Structure 1
Amino acid sequence: MILRELLDDPGLGLTLLHGTEALDQPVTSAFTTDLRDPRHYVRPGDLVLTGLMWRRTPADSDAFVSAVVDSGAIAIAAGEAALGEVPDDVAAACRHHGVTLFRVPVEVSFGQISDRVSTAREAEQRRALATALGRQRQLLSAVAEGHSLDELLALARDELGVGCHVRTPTGRLVAAAPGAPAPASTGMPAQRSARPDTPGHTGDMPAADVDRLTRTFLTAGRLPVTVSLSDGSSTSIFPVEPRIDARVASWFLVCTGEHEHWPEDVHASLRELASVILLERHRWEERRRSQQRIADDVLAALAEGHTSGAELTVRMADLGIDPAGPFVVAIAAPAGTPARTAAHGSARAALDDAMLHVTDHPISGIRGDRAIAIATGHPAATGTLRTALERLAPAFDRERLLVGVCTAADFETLSGALDGAHHATNVAATWPARVSVVSLDDVASHAALLAALPDSLRRTFATRILQPVFDYDEHHGGELIPTLEAFLDADGSWSSCARRLHVHVNTVRYRLQRIAELTGRDLSRLENRVDVFLALKVARPGS
């Protein structure tokens, strides 16, 4: 119901005193009050009915109207019974604050107006429910007929006037309705995202907007939520799954426009659409699970170094992998988490989804405490994986995600690439990022050497060499460690080190001499610098 309908109702006899331009605003409910400050009780969209009992002086009018406007009410209907009229100062306050004002004749009770609003609201709810049920039947009929997810999204667009597409937390576009203008009556922008021809395609949307969508989905306290895009338009994110703790492995629905302005029947239809999308997600996962035994056999054979035999190549081909290569191998694990926990499930889900940016048919599984995935892909796929996985950083606030990537040119080198990915994952543990993606090609030789050593051995090595220096800095408030880092970064140049630290070169010489005394290593000798450098890399991974 809109304000104009109340004004046009002859049974109410309302007179408009101000606000002709706002008569098309919808009324959600009517609220009666004579409190001087009713802001704690009035809700957005209310029509406030008042007998003006709060008015003692003309100044009271501005205070009352200001409180009503602050509460989000759209209009005031003032009765004449108490004062015999609606004072000019009330009308002036309404004009000043831009709120619609009606005069209610003495013979009309506030109960009549409230009943009129309530009756209209109930009728609208019944119509909305009937509309939502009709859409639900149409949607379920389309599902039963075997329509694709793209076709279901197109149906939703045509029925609701809302362009929709489905994404994952890594930014992968799962499905989208073919681009077409939204119905003119909705005023909502059209969605122009066509179904991609390549895995991991992000549609027409700029990468920065995809980043914004995934970050918002992973961090929003409540869903749905509205997101502003780089072109100034708005879009809304709806959950596909109700669980708030499983977002890293969930899909989400993106709809053009601001959901706060949509009627309840549109929200109901989108919730039903999300349920259908979740059903499709479960079907997709079931199809992948049906092939898991074969995938586990392939991963086990490769882990044991078997890269020959027709049976293995046939199994890979059955899973959609071209045995001729090239390949990309990725391994993921949460840092410092015991094996086979929910965190490892999140690691595998993240890796699976990232790999789907590279190919439609990755092989994946869990071996020990790590998730492993193999796909046909060129070396450039490493960058694609890194971009996809780093979008998940907001979801890993309690534990870090470590990912190692290695490529193989052909089937014979695939087992070696698997070992390389394991080493790259070890190196990732020494990097500070919450989602640390390391390619073996990115790793310097010393880092690869350190990663191949047991963690306890690395820490013992670093402690024996540098612990006296750390202790000195802690007890004396010294700057020996920062000086050592700057000295090594300056390739052993005292003067360059001094310039970086903004100190005199003699200060650098004194500090380095103190480090030599504490470590028993003369830093003028190359082998001693190498020892200290490696120990520093272990003790301070981000240095």
Structure 2
Amino acid sequence: MLIQDVLDVRELALRRVVGTDDQFARAVRWAFATDLTDPSRYIVGGELVVTGMVWRRAPEDSDAFVASVVAAGAVALAAGDEVFGCVPDDVVRACEKYSLPLLAVPSSVAFADVIEAVTSRVTGDRVARLSASLARQHRLLTAVADGRALADLTQETARDTGVTCRIITAVGRSVVSAEPLTTEAVDALVRTAAQGVPCSVVARDTVRSVLPVGSSFGHRATAWYLVVDGDHERMDPQVLDTLAQLASIAALDRVRHDDGARVLRTMADQAADLLVAGAGEHALDRVRQIGVDLTGDVVALAATSDLPIEVLAAVLTDAVRTSVGGAVSVGVTDGDVVIGVVGLPPGGTTTRVADDLTRALGRLGDVVTGSIAVGVGTASEAAALVGCVQSAQHAREVAAASADRIAVRTSADTGSAAVLLSVVPDGLRAAYARRVLGAVIEHDTRTDAGLLDTLRAYLDHDGSWSRTADALHVHVNTVRYRIGRVEALTDRDLGTTEDRTDVFVALAVLGPQPTTL
């Protein structure tokens, strides 16, 4: 009920004394009569205060009375003229001073009638709002059960309320969008929301509000937000109720999709393990089942973080989807490393993916206390996916070594042969490693002689016998013997640059862990 609605009740014959049309459009939540000098302790906000002005002993009392009811949250004052025969000028001036709408109540009208008119109308409005709310909630739930898309329900809510609605995530990915937001607007929304919701954000003279979607018990890095145009603190309660119901439906829709994603996540974990182990063909089968587009170039990602591993996987998935459309394979391997595979859209580049990830993950600066390190591998055809993962792992190591708390690096930042190797088809790389080091690996498998580990250490220490021996905690003659066996098995002279390069490249293909070919 509005103040104007009280004025419009003919039987009361109230008269407007102070107040603009905008002020009389304020909502009234209740009414009560008082003649206390300071009734503020009985006012909770939104009341129409009805008074006979018995409290007025002198003109200066009016200012104190009006100031107290305004400070307590009253929205209007209805003054009876029984005591003074009219509303005194000092009461009028006080109401004008504090912008408090003032109505005059004729002596022929009982205060009880004014209060009854307000309370019955307010009660009726509340019942009507409750009924409408329940009906709307039932309609939305029925729509969800029938499989209606969240975008359709959001658009329908926007039509009902006249408020533009969007749903975004903590990294700024658009889940449902009426129209695109600028990058700067998204930055401001998610960073302000990270401090707590609901909240209002002003950007370029446009006010938007951010409301929570779902429970606040999840990690803030994976939160969803309902973004609406306008200041939520100034919205009609019925509009806010409708928006809250949409947020609840969005939370239900998210749970439904998360349940489906868990099935795909199992396959993504398997793909990640296979890729790290070098089993590219088997990994591709899992990635295809997830729905990743492998017809064009693909990009691999590797990430580590202080975040719980499940949160990191969810955040990386969300962040990647801000850059590329379609399915994404993001799985966990070795307990703390997240491996992702995405298909590049037409015109997409590794640099673009890295830039988008940097911006998206950077929005988590206020909700992530630890570090996030992400490596983006060299774009390649699907046949070279294992190499792409290895280049992503190298880039991740560079990111982890940087001073940035949230760091994204590409294979171009590694500046090593890993970049060149990553684009060679996996089968060709494996065949090369088998041809160069197959006899050494087979010998180690049969005898556990440690030739491969000794070779790695020898090349890592630039061919120094003594430093290699110190690193392996063996006698220098042992190192000489083992390297001699490697040279004999590979038919290569490690004293020459050409042969040493061949062996180095073969080791790079194998990766850091001993393996079988």
TM-score, normalised relative to structure 2:
0.71
Deviation at 1:42, TM superposition (A): 3.3
Q: 1:61 to 1:430 in 2, by over 3 A?
A: farther
Alignment of 1:278-357 (within 5 A): 278-307=251-280, 309=281, 311-323=282-294, 326-335=297-306, 343-357=308-322
- Conserved? CA contact 1:329–1:374, under 8 Å: yes
Contact 2:392 2:410 in 1 (8 A): yes
Q: Deviations over 1:406-435 (max 9, x none)?
A: 224234543333333334334434444442
SS at match of 1:55: coil
Contact between 2:3 and 2:25, CA under 8 Å: does it hold in 1?
yes
Distance 1:316 1:344, change over 3 A: closer
Q: Structure 1: 5+ residue runs without aligned partners?
A: 177-191, 194-203, 338-342, 449-543
What corresponds to 1:369 in structure 2?
336
Name the residue aligned to 1:48: 49
Distance 2:330 2:267 in 1: 10
Match of 2:381 among 382, 402, 410: 410
Give the 3 Å change call, closer, same or farther, for CA 212–240 of structure 1 in structure 2.
same
Q: Given the two structures, how large is their TM-score scaled by the length of structure 1?
A: 0.68
Counterpart CA distance in 2 for 1:290 and 1:175 is 24
Aligned to 1:382: 354
State how far apart, in whole Å, the 1-side matches of 2:241 and 2:366 are: 29
Pair 1:425 & 2:392 matched: no
Distance 1:233 1:41, change over 3 A: farther
Q: Deviations over 1:69-100 (max 9, x none)?
A: 34443321223455554322112222333322
- What's the CA shift for 1:206? 0.8
Provide the residue aligned with 2:192 in structure 1. Answer: 216
- Counterpart selection for 1:442 from 385, 397, 413: 413
Q: Is the 8 A contact 2:171 2:361 kept in 1?
A: yes
Distance 1:255 1:77, change over 3 A: same
Mapping of 1:393-542 within 5 angstroms? 393-396=365-368, 398-442=369-413
Q: Which residue of 2 aligns with 1:205?
A: 181
Q: CA contact under 8 A between 1:328 and 1:405: conserved in structure 2?
A: yes
Say whether residues 1:135 and 2:136 are aligned partners: yes
Equivalent in the alignment of 1:256:
229
Contact 1:131-1:265 at 8 Å conserved across structures: no
Note the C-alpha offset of 1:37: 4.4
Aligned to 2:66: 65
Name the structure 1 match of 2:435: none
Distance 1:443 1:30, change over 3 A: farther
User: 1:70–1:400: structure 2 CA closer, same or farther, 3 Å change rule?
Assistant: same
- In structure 2, give the amino acid aligned to 1:235: R
The answer on whether the counterparts of 2:272 and 2:332 sit within 8 Å (CA) in structure 1 is: no
Deviations along 1:316-355, one digit per CA (max 9) or x if unpaired, are: 32222344653322233323x7xxxxx2222111101012
Whole-angstrom distance in 1 between the partners of 2:92 and 2:326? 66
How many residues are treated as equivalent by the alignment? 409
Alpha-carbon distance in 2 for matches of 1:53, 1:419: 85
Match of 1:482 in 2: none
Alignment of 1:32-181 (within 5 A): 32-39=33-40, 41-83=42-84, 85-106=86-107, 108-176=109-177
Counterpart CA distance in 1 for 2:87 and 2:272 is 82
Q: Is the 8 A contact 2:372 2:406 kept in 1?
A: yes
Aligned to 1:246: 219
Q: Secondary structure at the match of 1:394?
A: coil
Partner of 1:8: 8
- Comparing 66-75 and 161-170, the one that deviates more: 66-75
Q: Distance in 2 between matches of 1:295 and 1:20?
A: 63
C-alpha distance in 2, partners of 1:85/1:359?
71
Q: Which amino acid aligns with 1:76?
A: L
Shift of residue 245 of structure 1? 4.2
Query: Is the contact between residue 332 and residue 402 of structure 1 (CA under 8 Å) also seen in structure 2?
Result: yes
Contact 2:2 2:24 in 1 (8 A): yes
Letter in 2 for 1:295: A
Amino acid at match of 2:387: G
Tell me by how many angstroms 1:38 deviates.
Answer: 4.5
Distance in structure 2 (CA, Å) of the matches to 1:386 and 1:8: 59
Q: Give how far 1:44 is off.
A: 4.0
Report the Cα distance in structure 2 between the residues aligned to 1:288 and 1:212, rounded to whole angstroms.
Answer: 29
SS across alignment from 2:148: coil
Q: Which residue identity is paired with 1:15?
A: R
Question: Which structure would you say has the larger Rg?
Answer: 2
Counterpart of 1:102, as a letter, is L
Partner residue in 1 for 2:515: none
- Whole-angstrom CA distance in 2 between matches of 1:306 and 1:323: 17
2:242 aligns with 269
SS at 1:219 equivalent: coil
The whole-number CA distance in structure 1 between the counterparts of 2:81 and 2:374 is 73
Cα separation, 1, equivalents of 2:103 and 2:109? 13
SS of the residue corresponding to residue 65 of structure 2 reads: helix
Q: Percent identity?
A: 34
Quote the Cα distance in structure 2 between the aligned partners of 1:124 and 1:334: 52
Instruction: Show structure 1 runs of 4+ deviating over 6 A.
Output: none
Note the alpha carbon deviations across 1:255-291, whole angstroms, 9 max, x for none: 2223233333333332322232222222322332223
Q: Which residue is equivalent to 1:515?
A: none
Separation in 2 of the partners of 1:257 and 1:316? 43
- The 8 Å contact of residues 31 and 42 in structure 1, kept in 2 or not, is answered as no
Deviation (angstroms), 1:122:
0.9
2:485 counterpart residue number: none
- Report if aligned partners of 1:129, 1:265 keep a CA contact under 8 Å in 2: no
The answer on whether the counterparts of 1:65 and 1:94 sit within 8 Å (CA) in structure 2 is yes
**Relative to 1, partners in 2 of residues 1:265 and 1:7: Cα closer, same or farther, differing over 3 Å?**
closer
Instruction: Quote how far apart the aligned CAs of 1:39 are.
Output: 4.6
Q: 1:359 to 1:61 in 2, by over 3 A?
A: same
Amino acid of the structure 2 residue aligned with 1:361 = A
